[in-house]
Amino acid sequence: MRARHLVSAMVALALSLPGAVVGTANAAVCSSSGLGGNTNAATCPGFLKWTYDPRSHEFHGESALAGLQRDLYEYREVADCDSNTVDTPFEALCMRAISCPVRVDSNGDRLASLRIVVYRRAIGSTAPWLEAQTACRYYGRTVTLAEVQTAARQGIERHVGHPSISVQPPGGQTLVNIPTIFSAAEQRTTTLPITAPVPGQIKAVPSYSWTFGDGLTGTGSGHPFTPSIVPNETGNNGYYVVAVYRQPGTKSITATLRWDVTFTLQGFGTITLAPIVFTDTVQLNARTARAVLVNH
């Protein structure tokens, strides 16, 4: 029987912990300090496993026990306190339940810990649970979706291009009623791994949109002028991005490069992040061509 060393101030923490964990896979086979006795928790190596809660928009890190092996048993974890049983595993915490070796995460922050007793029985059996091992489970910090979004933006800004408008004819001048050609560097779908604040993979898919003034718009990166392809008002089926101005004056042209971003968390799936948008703007003067008489 374990000595009762209850700490009433820790009851609230106990209520916030997950319920009993039942699985059909892993036996706690770590250091032998906990086998056959209850005085010392085993110090199994841990790795931080992240999950995502779409309701709170938060990532939760938890250090799972490593050094485990597969067998024909199912397991249940119980907080190592006298008042806790295999059927009521987390009703109270005692000093021994939280006296685990200090461990920190990849950011240097100390992980919360809980000393547990692992029970096991044969899969499908209704026999009583048998105590198999004591160990320490570590609980990592919570990371908000906003933190992941910030890390994604920093990674994308370093690895992808920004829009830079090219205009033909050059020199900031064009003529009304003829196609003016616009283009920007073509972008490709980019995949980036990140390790902090949460390990995963970012995928960014680019798309261009344009405003030319006078209510004119366009899409795509376009191409610089190619002598073999004569531009027309429709952009030659998307090869060119063109605008044909009907009225003279100063025009403001903006190219918007939008990156639609998703984040893949191992073991969870794909999470959509807020789009990342870059723009470039230039001014262009549209003039009316003057007729010139030529003697022949």
For the stretch 46-91, pLDDT in tens is 556 778 888 888 887 766 554 444 567 887 888 888 788 888 777 7
What distance in Å separates the CA atoms of residue 240 and residue 227, rounded to the nearest whole number? Answer: 12
Which sequence spans correspond to the domains of the chain?
8-143, 160-287
Higher per-residue pLDDT: 175 or 117: 175
| Full-model pTM | 0.61
**% residues pLDDT > 70 (the chain):** 76
Higher per-residue pLDDT: 48 or 233: 233
**pLDDT exceeds cutoff 90 at 224:** yes
**pLDDT exceeds cutoff 70 at 30:** no
- Alpha-carbon distances, residue 243 vs 14, 108, 163, 285 (angstroms): 66, 55, 18, 13
CATH of region 160-287, choose from 3.40.47.10, 3.10.20.30, 3.40.50.2000, 2.60.40.10 = 2.60.40.10
- Alpha-carbon distances, residue 209 vs 134, 216, 218 (angstroms): 60, 11, 6
**% residues pLDDT > 90 (the chain):** 32
Predicted confidence (pLDDT) per residue in 124-172, tens digit: 889 999 887 777 777 777 788 888 888 888 888 888 888 999 999 999 9
Pairing label, strands 69-70, 26-27: antiparallel
Q: 14 and 92 in contact (C-beta within 8 Å)? A: yes
Q: What is the arithmetic mean of pLDDT over 184-194?
A: 92
What distance in Å separates the CA atoms of residue 21 and residue 201, rounded to the nearest whole number? Answer: 29
Question: Which pLDDT value is given to residue 261?
Answer: 92
Q: What is the arithmetic mean of pLDDT over 230-239?
A: 83
Provide the b/e sequence for 33-53 (b: ≥16 CB within 10 Å): ebeeeeeebbebebebebebe
